[in-house]
Amino acid sequence: MPNYPRLDAEDVGPQLGRNLTYGMLDSLGRAIVTGRYEREAFPTEAELAKQHGVSRSVTREAVKMLTAKGLLSARPRQGTVVQPATNWNLFDTDVLRWLLERQFSVDLLRQFNQLRVAIEPEAAALAARVATPEDLARISHGLERMEAAEQGLEDTLEADIAFHVAILRASGNPFYAQFRDVVGTALRTSIRFTNRMKGRTANVADHAAVRDAIEARNSEAARTAMRTLIGDVLDLIEQVEAAPPEG
């Protein structure tokens, strides 16, 4: 075990202290989500501090943050234990990122898009009713970025995310808008895999149909166009699962 110098948040300043805490949070969170502690006890704070070469205060703060995310719990006489996945806060962007960074799961991709199809069509329908001119401009800008991406002038992934997040914001509903971080985080994995399955980038014409319906203030058309857009992903997942394994 390397003999790391012991660092404390109070000793190294607030910014580096936060970096140490978040670095430990990321390392431990990923280890928990990928199943490292399924067959072994979660270390004590003293053990974690020694393993990572940080102070007990940094370790304690990281454990508190993981507890708030539903990954850990402290029990009398049992210490800190890893919680079952059913207790994890799946709307926490760190937890979602750790889930999506582990070995790819078609089930997880399906579940995420089932959530999207329950939310984004309704957000699009609301946007058709209440979107401001500024909202409409952001949606169109997202679509323009997608068109530019087809020419290699924009990042395909970031343009697609910008389009969908603009519609969530344009709904005028703060609860839908709160999904922007979840959608943005999960789409980074979802879009990569669906594009790889299709062998092409997202269909700009299908996205344009959503934008056009919102601009026309046609709620039902916007709802249908967005449902079709996400439904295509769910259909693609079913095709992949139904295909015989290679070799």
Look up residue 51 and give its two tokens: 């393993």
**pTM of this structure:** 0.78
Report domain 104-242's class: mainly alpha
Residue spans of the domains in the chain: they are 9-85, 104-242
DSSP string, 149-204: HHTTSS-HHHHHHHHHHHHHHHT--HHHHTTHHHHHHHHHHHHHHHHHHHTS---H
CATH architecture of the domain covering 9-85: Orthogonal Bundle (1.10)
- Which of 104, 119, 242 has the alpha carbon at shortest distance from 180? 119
Measure the CA–CA gap between 102 and 192, rounded to whole angstroms.
14
The answer to whether 158 touches 192, Cβ cutoff 8 Å, is: no
Q: Measured in whole angstroms, how far is the alpha carbon of residue 162 from the centre of its chain?
A: 14
Please state at what angle helix 106-130 crosses helix 219-242, rounded to 10 degrees.
170
Residue 8: band (very low, low, confident or very high) from pLDDT cuts 50, 70, 90: very low
CA angle 161, 165, 166 (to 5 degrees): 115
What would the pLDDT profile of 135-187 be if each residue is shown by its tens digit? 999 999 999 999 999 999 999 889 999 999 999 999 999 999 988 888 888 77
Look up residue 243 and give its two tokens: 């295909």
Q: Which residue has the higher pLDDT, 119 or 110?
A: 119
The answer to whether 174 touches 151, Cβ cutoff 8 Å, is: no
- C-alpha separations of 113 from 29, 66, 99 in Å: 24, 26, 15
What would the pLDDT profile of 23-48 be if each residue is shown by its tens digit? 999 999 999 998 899 888 899 989 99
